[in-house]
Structure 1
Amino acid sequence: MSNTLFEKGGERMVPHYFEQISTLESDYDEILHLTANENVMSDLALHFYRSKLAHRYNMGEGVDGVFVHSNFAAKGMPEISELINDASVRLKVMLNAGLVNLNCLSGVHAMISVLLSTTDPGDRIMTVSSKHGGHFCTKGIVERSGRGHVFAEYDHANITFSVDGIAEIFKKNNCKALYLDTSVLLKPHPIKLLREALGNEAIIIYDASHTIGLIMGGKFQSPLLEGANIIVANTHKTLPGPHHGLIAFRDEADAQDFNKIIHNNFYSSTHINSVIALAITIIEMDIWGKEYADQIVRNSNHLGSCLEQYGYNVRKLGQNRFTENHQLHVYINEENKIIVKRFLDNNMSVNTSKALGNDLFLRLGLQEVTRRGMKEKDIEQIAVFIKKILRDEYVKKDVIDFNSKFINVNYGFGMEHIHKPMVFNS
């Protein structure tokens, strides 16, 4: 049957949308990304992310190359086991975890897997309201799965969660789990205090989608050491991997039960190209993560200082300290769509938010520019661009010229590692 989308007047045509997508890919390379929710993979991770193995199922290593489950048998993938095991061991050390799971397809998939494996229908779960930075879909997932739901209390004055308020609501509603799904934050959560206030039976789940790379680099907090039971995260923000998900459990004994439920019910194919790319990124973090995480936080605070000197109102944690992670919050007085469009017209991409109050701010993220090798002197130039754009000056050519100087990915493996052994100190 003829595909009329690809033919016109008897001639085969290339649909315009292929060209549009190709152009979009090129355009993205010229954009200076200051979004808090994106990053770039290393050349080696990206190479294997594009692998032909993406066509194939990875059901497990198997025995003698054959994976068997009940009456189903298929080719296993023992060839990738050494890489996955190496990455898993390193990740456990970086997160102080007893067991990790790299098989979830996204952060939301990891969230669903954990919520449904640690609780039962009828249990009540506490999550974070979107006005306090929580994920927009968590409440719906909880309620659609037959669980009860309440929101956590937030302390706006101190830009953190209210421990006393959470404890009161949690106990009054007989909650089983606290899920801290925060995407707008500047400093660590009070996990130790929450554990003390909620008691040992409460399940504390820490969504580290934004800060997992900083945690792995030892630059934020260590949630599992501080009292959380489980870490859930996507893997493409401060952790510069593919769009994927991971779970880390504090206690191996409990994790075995939860992980068995997840393995048997919530995924089959693990999207092996993503798992390989993620494993490579985890090893990169073990090697370069401390340096990378430290530079992210220094860049974030330096940009805050520059913008404050230019007269902008930047949210602060205290004197001369704007953030403890990759995010920087700069208050603005214009409509969010207008201000984002103005930045895009100048080849800069930003996020906005009204969380943690009702005032609109730019939620800037310094993780990607750091991954591209930018340091304090470069951040000063970015501050100049931001100042000019907020004044409605046109700086597109200058932004493109500046951004073109940072085409390489730092703190990661290059393609040369395919052709020679990796040599590093672990």
Structure 2
Amino acid sequence: MTGSTIQGQQAASVADGHRLLDGIAARLRAEGDVSRQVVNLVPSENRLSPLASLPLRYDFYNRYFFNARLAEEEWNFRGGQGVGDVEVTVGIPTLARLAGGALVNVRPVSGMSAMFLVLMTCGGEPGDTVVSIDPAAGGHYATTSVIRRLGRRPVTVGQCGGTVDDERLRAVLREHRPALVYLDLQNSLAEIDVAGIVRTVREVSPHTRVHADVSHTLGLVLGGVHRNPLDVGADTMGGSTHKTFPGPQKGVLFTRDPELADLIARTQFETISSHHFAETLSLCLAAAEFELFGAGYAAQVVENARVLGAELLTVGFEVVVGTDDITDCHQVWVDTGPELDPMRFAAGLASAGVRVNVIPDLPGFDGRPALRLGSAELTFEGARAESMSELVQVFDLVRRGRVDEAGARRVALRENLGEPYFLRREQLDGHER
């Protein structure tokens, strides 16, 4: 094979590679445009504001930041030197205020990362017991496996309507004297009664610590709609920052115990290297905006979920009534029944520009898939009660096979949203339009 032939093949290969990458770039841009126009009702997701998304576009994404004291002699890594104060003097103090004077750790890179850190810090020694919520009752699917993989013994308790089975909890506390009770309620329509759990733990096993994983409801807690677990005696709380809290995909932990905060920090130092600096800056900006808009947003999230559930019931959908007001959080559950396949219905909704969550493990469904809807993201973008009423009509049209008409109503819904719970691009002094 001649040199010119090899060069020709290489040139053709490069050209093919360019075409492939150009095609992928075009797809990404197109899907980005689509995502800005859909209605997303997945309760474990949210949207970043224009301000909070800024750090993800810059060089900070590639840099480490360790100098939490902003001390001149501690700039071992200088990539964050120009903006590290945003984390230290803006983000962390804001999160601390939102959590009622808590000590804050922003090093976890996700909700699962925060879970690992809490279990390693507060879960005792190998062989010790850690109590969590039974997945069949709404607990997180992975918690018991993680506990076991860390060498601890997992034991679960049930719950109903946010109230943990107290008799079972007392029996477990007496028998095992666990190091930690990890409240990992992810599938629930009711606010978990942390205060009642803490009272039982303090009475029966005073040395046992209590952690509230509020991944799904962090925005409702920091927005003042749900009770702050730290106010009712939990030792720690935290979780992911991208569900009802409208931040990046990251994690955060809070405590009011200085010794626990120090223990978490020392454990984290050996288990989390990069805390994903750009995402942390994004979290800091999201927190600063949340301090301005969060109380109104959180209240509207719950109101919108209740309107969505009530009006879906009105038009004949089988909505799970989990509380006196259907739901006390952002989640709404819909049983599509034998006449309407949930995956096929979800596909129809997607064709109309509405994205929903189909999952098989909601409490009470015996493994049957159902719709788990969430009001957080659409509320963040400006939805009020009338938007949810319009959304129900979209559901009804899709159910009747009128997908094109449903899509047109979805477009109109988005065009008539109210003021969002964040700063609009035009309010950011002309930056990054």
Confirm or deny a common fold (TM above 0.5): yes
SS at match of 1:193: helix
Q: 1:56 to 1:222 in 2, by over 3 A?
A: same
Determine whether 1:379 maps to 2:388: yes
Counterpart of 1:276? Answer: 281
- The 1:336–1:166 alpha-carbon spacing in structure 2 relative to 1, beyond 3 Å, is farther
CA distance in 1, matches of 2:234, 2:96: 15
In 2, the alpha carbon distance for the partners of 1:86 and 1:29 equals 29
Aligned partners of 2:381 and 2:419 also within 8 Å:
yes
Matches within 5 A, 1:115-264: 115-119=119-123, 120-155=125-160, 158=161, 160-199=163-202, 200-262=206-268, 264=269
Contact 2:395 2:406 survives alignment (8 Å): no
8 Å CA contact 1:107, 1:234 repeated in 2: yes
Which stretches in structure 1 are left out of the alignment for 5+ residues? 422-426
Match of 2:422 among 388, 391, 412: 412
| Structure 1 range deviating more: 38-47 or 163-172 | 163-172
Asked if the contact 2:342–2:369 (Cα under 8 Å) also holds between the matched residues in 1, the reply is yes
Q: Output the amino acid matched with 2:33.
A: S
For the 8 Å contact 2:42–2:357, the answer to whether it is kept is: yes
Deviation at 1:366, TM superposition (A): 0.5
- Equivalents in 1 of 2:173, 2:52: separation in Å? 42
CA distance in 2, matches of 1:385, 1:239: 26
**Contact 2:189-2:327 within 8 A present in 1 as well:** yes
Q: Distance in 1 between matches of 2:168 and 2:345?
A: 36
Q: So what's the TM-score if we normalise by structure 1?
A: 0.88
**1:46: Cα distance to partner?**
0.8
Determine the C-alpha separation between the residues in 2 that align with 1:407 and 1:337. Answer: 28
Aligned residues: 413
Assess if the C-alpha contact under 8 Å between 1:125 and 1:179 holds in 2: yes
Q: Is the contact made by 2:70 and 2:85 (CA closer than 8 Å) also made in structure 1?
A: no
The Cα shift of 1:372 comes to: 1.0
Which of 100, 104, 121 is the aligned partner of 1:100? 104
1:74 aligned counterpart, secondary structure: coil
What is the Cα deviation at residue 62 of structure 1? 5.9
Q: Structure 2: which 5+ runs fail to align?
A: 1-5
Question: Which is worse superposed, 122-131 or 377-386?
Answer: 122-131
Look up the match of 1:392: 401
Partner of 1:329: 333
Q: Distance in 2 between matches of 1:28 and 1:6?
A: 36
Within the alignment, does 1:38 sit opposite 2:52 as a pair? no
Q: What is the percentage of aligned positions where both structures have the same residue?
A: 22
Residue equivalent to 1:424: none
Q: What is the CA-CA distance between 1:243 and the residue it aligns to?
A: 0.6
Displacement, 1:94? 2.1
1:204·1:228 contact (CA, 8 Å) conserved in 2?
yes
Q: Is the 8 A contact 2:63 2:80 kept in 1?
A: no
Instruction: Say if 1:19 and 1:39 are closer, same or farther in 2 by CA, change over 3 A.
Output: same
Alpha-carbon deviation of 1:225?
0.7
CA distance in structure 2 between the partners assigned to 1:268 and 1:318 by the alignment:
42
Deviation of residue 391 (structure 1)?
3.3
Structure 1 residues 215-224 or 329-338, which shifts more? 329-338
